[in-house]
Structure 1
Amino acid sequence: MTDIIKHECGIAVIRLLKPLNYYYKKYGTWQYGLDKLYLLMEKQHNRGQEGAGLGAVKLESTPGNEFIYRERAVGSSAISEIFSKVHSSFTAFSPEQLNDIEFVKKSVPYAAELFIGHLRYSTTGKSGLTYVHPLLRRNNWASRNLALAGNFNMTNVDEMFQQLLEEGQHPRDYADTFVMLESIGHYLDREVQYQYDHVDKSNLNGQEVSHIIEEKLDIPFLLKRASKNWDGGYALCGLIGCGDAFALRDPWGIRSAFYYHDDEVVVIASERPVIQTAFNLKKDDVKELQPGEAIVIKRNGNISLNQILNKKEKITPCSFERIYFSRGSDYDIYRERKKLGELLVPEIINAINDDFDNTVFSFIPNTAEVAYYGMLEGLEDHFNHKKAKYILEKGSSLSKEEIDRILSKRVRSEKVAIKDIKLRTFIAQGTSRNDLAAHVYDITYGSLRRGVDNLVIIDDSIVRGTTLKQSIIKILDRLDPKKIIIVSSSPQIRYPDCYGIDMSRMSEFIAFKAAIELLKERGMQHIIDETYEKSVTQLHRKKEEIVNYVKDIYAPFTDEEISAKIAQMLTSKDIKAEVQIVFQKIEDLHKACPNNKGDWYFSGDYPTPGGNRLVNSAFINYINGQENRTHQFTLNFSNKE
């Protein structure tokens, strides 16, 4: 992706099902769980580079010690920092002590059986250590301690916040992270209290009562009560101080979560291949948590799958996970990305007028590479079919030399664009920024015949188009191609996301700006005004009643008209080559990614009512010149119906 966007978060949970001594004897270390957590987090580092955190629960914590240990850090090196801190805590002990498993279990921090890890990208505009997961809710009762981490963004924080107020609470922060922590924590408290009230305490001491409560804690029940009114996409993990753990996925299946367990370990992560790699597993060994489902691990090691929320009729897992966010090493994602490239072939052939002899194909590093391979295979199939048809038509009139010459023709592919990663770190503020930005990518000179060849270059998505205009198109034009065709393996991004991707402002989308320009050029300003008026009338309606009227902005135009306008807007006056932009069709996206049909950022069809409220607010903010990420959460708060 040329326009880097912040996105998603990464989660990891590990529960050791055997005593620490088992791993010490089998694997030579009691740090087995900690080491595996590090692997899971590093393999998901792409999902969050603003901060990282880990938490650990000892199943046999002695009084006077923490129930939950935690380390957090901010910055791109946060993973290394938190694990360095953890390992530095071991230096307080002698080698003899660290080899005494009984001593380790009682006295060494992070010598635990239950771990949670998190990688953060902020999508709320709030940053800093305070907002790095896992968040903690502490109490002197083990069963009331809660550590929470997740990949989520909630669209109805105002309603969730109001619910806590009605319960008599005073939440200390309005961010969805804290509201969810307090919501689950509240129902955890009530569940503990319920169990306490129903325990026969005669002939039992306080510790015995606590253990009975912990055994009886009904995690699925409290999750059902806490999540019944949530609107958003989430993959949420939690640890309880007594040793219980859970992971819950939203009922629309928007955010992803995978798990694996055997007799040694339970592991949960945002992506399947990271579990495969960390534990040397086959694809089918790792299962996907289903929409609305929770996996619950009790302190005694019992594992259960529970349907917490009814799976929605229309399941809409995020298609951006397949196009861009998740690791391409996943078995299915690799094939889906290749298919995305292959399905673009008919549009590409039209763009080059079927002229293979005078066209070079390439890609923009690095995430478009797999789609590029799929595109090449599709082009080669078409080209081979074309050659075979020609030979059959000419038949015996062709000489052996002519046949050899036809068969020797290949799709011309080159590595034209090279990303200069080091240079990006020097791009600063001020008037020099645009000039420096033009050099973030470099080109392979001599890869095209000047003034003769077309150049087709594939990217995985186009959001703002800034890098294309300031850098990519400018450097490609230095090769003097006859025509530059930029191909996006995803459709036009037209609408904000509200479920975990940092795409919230209408002005970010080059497709939206192109549609606005077309309306103005064609004397159709009234559509903008009418859309604004209809959006404003919805401001104080319940989210379930809001309609996405922003679709009206695009309705007068074909996809091709908007694509042509985007190409015009991204082509500077000094560009000599003709520039064309080709986008994936939404229906072809669904063909390539049949199990991930969440396409609201392309289609405007939001899976939850909160999505329509977001796009309504985003459009109003755009027209008013007040594009503020947090505004969406406060619009209805003081106007409850």
Structure 2
Amino acid sequence: MCGIVGAYSLKDKTKNVYPLIVRGLLDLQHRGQLSAGITSYNPERKRILQTHKKNGKVHEVFEINHRYKSKRLLEDYSGHAAIGHTRYATSGNNEDQLAQPFERPHGRKSKWFSLAFNGNLANYAQLKSGLEEVGYNMTYDSDTEVIMHFLSREVQSHKPWEDLNFKEIFKNLLTDFDGSWNIAFLNADGKMVAVRDPLGLRPMCWGFSKDDVLVFSSESVVLSNLQIEAHDLNPGEMIVVEGEKVTIVPYTAPIPTSYCFFEWIYFGHLASVIDGESTYNVRERIGEGLAKEETLQLEENDWIVVPVPESSYVAGAKYAQVTGIPFVQGLLKNHSVGRTFIDNTNRQYNISLKFTHLKEIIQGKKVILIDDSIVRGTTMKALVTNLKEWSGAKEVHLRIGCPPIKSPCFYGIDFPTIKELYAGANTPNPKDFNADSLKYLSFSGLIGAVNKKQEDLCMACITSK
């Protein structure tokens, strides 16, 4: 999972959109914490497209806390158009070189471009082999590099005097790509494109500021914080910006959508509205659903509800409201540590750093522990053990905001093998977590919470279909 953002000043070509991109990437930090970057377009600069990227969180990459370095970046990467990216790796390693955007220099401006990608190509290995067979040198083990080569091939198929037909370019890519792919594209002719894949697996939205800047982003929180009204880019649509002209068109015939439900229950920012559904409201309905499906007798006074920070706060608060049990923030998150689901280096070590236990509040209590999901189970086992052995909880009962995740995801979420998944390799059992009970939200409860038709959602990770 990654985050992409783009900005284009339509009227004022002296406006520097660099600050908008950096601010947008800060709002998308939750979608990727490995690296970040920007490509800006400035026709007054000798290097028309210029890219800055490296590993680190957004504030580190853009030197936000360093007055002089941040000012220098603001000046060096100024431009009235730019795209940005924050990375969570589902393909390739963790080296700096795989930070995005990927820039493809060329002597002709129309063929010199940069791209940022959010998604995952399921047939990446096949596409990579095909390129190598016809003489391509694949430098990185990354699906973004594959996309760059395919895009370059499409762009270079146009004669020098021909305008790029972006609708045809991206339509042609559909014949090769299998997966989820939202793309931000910017070339040295000053043309910008934002593309959402036909299935709609990953979100994308757009809007105009009061001073005529087009902004598009993976999530609406970026636009909301800029006080811009957000509009969803529909699956199979693209935004093309040329000069002062903005065109939003479908580039392929409509097909049934396949929205990823995980966007609402875990990945999405709490302030985002994704394809018409508020992330906050969905998580409230999850908590309400868990409460209505509860089978424990909760009349005694020593029960408390504790959410796992931070994506479960809303669900936990709603569960507590419906059941009448006190809501307690018994676990505090260390914000200098990233999301352990996203950081796939040393999960067990990250978990030990991630949470602070409020022992005085938890001791002697029966804890209803609310979490959005169990993927690998490493976080949960460590949490429950610490709640009992260190914090002195009398009992811990797990309540999980989605059904068991049993199957791999090939479209952009980092659980690729059944063996890595707790419910893929095991029949769920509270004893595996040292818990007193374990209950998942029902399938129908999840559908009701997301408020979408089942056929409009991708739920392969829980249905294996």
CA distance in 1, matches of 2:5, 2:419: 34
TM-score w.r.t. the length of structure 2 is 0.87
Q: In the alignment, which of 307, 331, 352 is matched to residue 363 of structure 1? A: 307
CA shift digits 1:461-505 (9 cap, x unpaired): 112222322343332355655532111112211112222222113
Q: Secondary structure, in 3 states, of the residue corresponding to 2:258? A: coil
Structure 1 residues 118 and 481: CA distance shift in structure 2, 3 A = closer
Query: CA 1:183–1:336 in structure 2 vs 1: closer, same or farther (change >3 Å)?
Result: same
Ranges in structure 2 where 5+ consecutive residues have no aligned partner = 339-347
AA at the equivalent of 1:111 = S
Counterpart residue number, 2:463: 603
Match of 2:343 in 1: none
Contact 2:259 2:457 in 1 (8 A): yes
- Partners of 2:106 and 2:368 lie apart in 1 by 60
Counterparts of 1:127-526 in structure 2, within 5 Å, are 127-161=94-128, 164=131, 168=134, 170-173=136-139, 175-191=142-158, 193=159, 196=161, 213=162, 216-261=163-208, 264-277=212-225, 279-281=226-228, 285-298=229-242, 300-313=243-256, 315-330=257-272, 332-348=278-294, 350=295, 352-380=296-324, 411-419=325-333, 437=352, 440-447=355-362, 450=364, 454-476=366-388, 481-514=393-426
Q: What is the percent sequence identity of the aligned residues?
A: 22
1:506–1:368 Cα change, 3 Å: same
Aligned residues: 445
Change (3 A) 1:178 1:272: same
Change (3 A) 1:135 1:280: same
1:39 matched residue in structure 2: 23
Q: Go from structure 1 to structure 2 and tell me whether the alpha carbon gap of 1:61 and 1:139 turns closer, same or farther (over 3 Å shift).
A: farther
Does 2:78 align with 1:111? yes
Q: What are the residue-to-residue correspondences of 1:543-558 with 2, within 5 Å?
A: none
Question: Do the aligned partners of 1:52 and 1:78 also contact (CA within 8 Å) in 2?
Answer: no
Shift of residue 137, structure 1, vs aligned partner: 1.2
| Residues 602 and 435 of structure 1, relative CA distance in 2, 3 Å threshold | closer
Q: If each structure's helix is expressed as a fraction of its own residues, which one has the higher value?
A: 1
Give the partner amino acid of 1:580: S
Q: What does the per-residue CA deviation read over 1:118-170, in whole Å, with 9 as the maximum and x for residues that have no partner? A: 1011112422122111111111111111101111110112443355468x552
User: Aligned partner of 1:54: which letter?
Assistant: I
The answer to whether the 8 A contact 2:388-2:394 is kept is no
Measured against aligned partners, the alpha-carbon deviations of 1:305-360 in whole angstroms (never above 9, x if no partner) come to 121233322x1211111111111022511111111110011332x1x224354422
CA shift for structure 1 position 445: 1.8
Task: Give, in angstroms, the shift of residue 377 of structure 1.
Answer: 2.9
Please say which of residues 244-253 and 362-371 is displaced more in the overlay.
362-371
Farther-moved stretch of structure 1 (216-225 vs 465-474): 465-474
Question: SS at 2:329's partner residue?
Answer: coil
Query: Hey, what's the Cα distance between the residues in 1 that align with 2:337 and 2:33?
Result: 19
What secondary structure, in the 3-state scheme, does the structure 2 residue paired with 1:362 have? Answer: strand
Q: 1:293 to 1:169 in 2, by over 3 A?
A: farther
Q: Secondary structure at the match of 2:360?
A: coil
- Cα deviation per residue 1:192-239 (whole Å; 9 max; x = unaligned)? x1x62xxxxxxxxxxxxxxxx4xx322111111233321101111100
Instruction: Decide whether the 8 Å contact of 1:318 with 1:597 is kept in 2.
Output: yes
Provide the secondary structure at the position in 1 that maps to 2:436: strand
Structure 2 Cα separation of the partners of residues 141 and 294 of structure 1: 24
SS in 2 for 1:601: helix
- The structural deviation recorded for 1:171 is 4.1
Q: Is 1:74 the equivalent of 2:55?
A: yes
Contact 1:255 1:317 in 2 (8 A): yes
Once residues 349 and 177 of structure 2 are traced to their aligned partners in structure 1, the CA distance between those partners, rounded to angstroms, is: 43
Q: Distance in 2 between matches of 1:446 and 1:49?
A: 32
Between Structure 1 and Structure 2, which shows a larger proportion of strand residues? Answer: 2
In structure 2, how many angstroms separate the alpha carbons of the residues matched to 1:89 and 1:467? 38
Partner SS, residue 411 of structure 2: coil
One-letter amino acid of the counterpart of residue 319, structure 1 = F
Letter in 1 for 2:223: I
Residue aligned with 1:344, SS: helix
**Distance of aligned partners of 1:10 and 1:454 in 2 relative to their CA distance in 1, 3 Å threshold:** same
Q: Structure 1 pair 158/454, CA: closer, same or farther in 2 (3 Å)? A: closer
User: In 2 relative to 1, CA 471–378 (structure 1 residues): closer, same or farther, beyond 3 Å?
Assistant: closer
Other structure's SS at 2:84 match: strand
In 2, the alpha carbon distance for the partners of 1:413 and 1:177 equals 44
**The one of 7, 13, 19 aligned to 2:6:** 13
Contact 1:151-1:235 at 8 Å conserved across structures: yes
RMSD over equivalenced CA pairs, Å: 2.8
Deviation at 1:185, TM superposition (A): 1.0
Q: Which amino acid aligns with 1:41?
A: L
What secondary structure, in the 3-state scheme, does the structure 2 residue paired with 1:353 have?
A: coil
What is the alpha-carbon distance in structure 2 between the residues aligned to residue 569 and residue 353 of structure 1? Answer: 23
Shift of 1:294: 0.9
Letter in 2 for 1:10: G
Provide the C-alpha distance between the structure 2 equivalents of 1:291 and 1:112, rounded to a whole number of angstroms: 29
Could you say if the C-alpha distance between residues 440 and 362 of structure 1 is closer, same or farther in structure 2, counting changes exceeding 3 Å? closer
Residue 118 of structure 2 aligns to a residue in which SS?
strand
Q: CA deviation at 1:295?
A: 0.9
* Equivalence map 1:552-591=2 (5 Å): 562-563=427-428, 565=429, 567-571=430-434, 579-591=436-448
Distance 1:321 1:164 in 2: 32
**TM-score, normalised on structure 1?**
0.64
Change (3 A) 1:360 1:163: same
Q: Which amino acid aligns with 1:321?
A: E
Quick one: structure 1 residues 267 and 454, their matched pair in 2 at CA, closer, same or farther if it must change by over 3 Å? same
CA distance 1:226–1:480, shift in 2 (3 Å): closer
Q: In 1, are the aligned partners of 2:62 and 2:70 still within 8 Å (CA)?
A: no
Task: Determine the C-alpha separation between the residues in 2 that align with 1:496 and 1:227.
Answer: 23
What is the alpha-carbon distance in structure 2 between the residues aligned to residue 118 and residue 438 of structure 1?
27
* Matched-pair contact (CA < 8 Å) for 2:83–2:186: yes
User: Structure 2 counterpart of 1:219, which letter?
Assistant: F
